[in-house]
Amino acid sequence: MNVAIIGVGLIGGSLAITLREQKIATRILGVDKDENNLKKAVQLGLIQEGVALEKAVKESDIVFLTVPVDAILHLLPPLLDRVSNQVIVDMGSTKKTILHAVSDHPKRGRLVAAHPMAGTEHSGPEAAIPNLFKGKMMVYVDAMNSDEDAFEAVDAIIEQLEMHTTFMSANEHDLHTAYVSHISHVTSFALALTVLEKEKSQGRIFELAGSGFESTVRLAKSSPDMWTPIFRQNRDNVLEVLQEHIRQLQQIYDVLDREDYDLFYKLIKKSNKIRRILR
């Protein structure tokens, strides 16, 4: 199978490693707007060759779109214009705006919208790692709008990646990722900003950052190039959950301010429910 990866960063690069290791792809072409990333991806052996978008689509059976979601929105319609029987897989973190933009496209059936719930806070080709997707969830979005053969071809690969799968509509997907994934990033960005504002001594941050701070602030190391377009496309859902988050923070502030430690205890106990869900 000939594969093209548009966007040879963390997700595209990690996918390339697995496709090569599992011998799913015979040839992997890469496309990237950043020449250095393209060169790096060849040096690291993620892709065989860096090529122009037109060549990648023409010479591939399956094309994975692993660029930030604003670039997916921009690239997807002209990509579908070029497709004959190839399959395009959109791996972006938001779906509603993107799928709406191509809903009437005559080649919509060749598109499979899939979101891997797997990643790290690092980006670029050097961040690519083996086994990123193994055991993680792949969310198929509006799968009924993909041609059956296109969906089957993608699903066969996802099975070889040993991923779990679930199905959602675009609305459901964007709502629930706002509730679980996107708000977690907001919290972490706000935590980093808070600590940087209050603790002016970088030495003290370094000395006192045990695994607690490290684990809660990890997501604040994430790329603004990837996350700003996600918040732009999922703004309404994020604002809704953010309002609740602010209410919870305000409640904790009020409870501490009036020294209501019984309620504070109960709030922590209630939050511990997450332990039963995530085990």
Ligand X SMILES: NC(=O)c1ccc[n+]([C@@H]2O[C@H](COP(=O)([O-])OP(=O)(O)OC[C@H]3O[C@@H](n4cnc5c(N)ncnc54)[C@H](O)[C@@H]3O)[C@@H](O)[C@H]2O)c1
Q: Which residues bind ligand X (CB under 6 A)?
A: 6-12, 31-34, 37, 66-69, 71-72, 91-93, 116, 119, 123-124, 127, 223, 225-226, 230
Q: Which two tokens stand for residue 116?
A: 């891997």
Q: Which is nearer to ligand PRE, 71 or 117 (CB)?
A: 117
Site string for ligand PRE, 68-107 (x = CB under 6 A): -------------------------x--------------
Minimum CB–partner distance for residue 54 and ligand PRE (Å): 28
Minimum CB–partner distance for residue 33 and ligand PRE (Å): 20
One of 2, 48, 120, 169 touching ligand PRE (CB under 6 A): 120
Per-residue H/E/C for the chain: CEEEEECCCHHHHHHHHHHHHCCCCCEEEEECCCHHHHHHHHHCCCCCEECCHHHHHHCCCEEEECCCHHHHHHHHHHHHHHCCCCEEEECCCCCHHHHHHCCCCCCHHHEEEEEEECCCCCCCHHHCCCCCCCCCEEEEECHHHCCHHHHHHHHHHHHHCCCEEEEECHHHHHHHHHHHHHHHHHHHHHHHHHHHHHCCCHHHHHHHCCHHHHHHHHHHHCCHHHHHHHHHHCHHHHHHHHHHHHHHHHHHHHHHHCCCHHHHHHHHHHHCHHHHHHC
Is residue 14 near ligand PRE by the rule CB under 6 A?
no
Is residue 219 near ligand PRE by the rule CB under 6 A?
yes
Minimum CB–partner distance for residue 135 and ligand PRE (Å): 14
One of 7, 12, 50, 119 touching ligand PRE (CB under 6 A): 119
d(CA 265, CA 137): 34
- Binding at 32: pick from ligand X, ligand PRE, none (beta carbon under 5-8 Å per type): ligand X
Q: Which is nearer to ligand PRE, 48 or 120 (CB)?
A: 120
Minimum CB–partner distance for residue 227 and ligand PRE (Å): 8
With CB under 6 A as the rule, give the number of residues binding ligand PRE. Answer: 9
- Binding at 124: pick from ligand X, ligand PRE, none (beta carbon under 5-8 Å per type): ligand X
Q: Which is nearer to ligand X, 73 or 192 (CB)?
A: 73
* Inter-residue contact 18 to 43 (CB < 8 Å): no
Contacts with ligand PRE, residue ranges (CB under 6 A)? 93, 117-121, 181, 184, 219
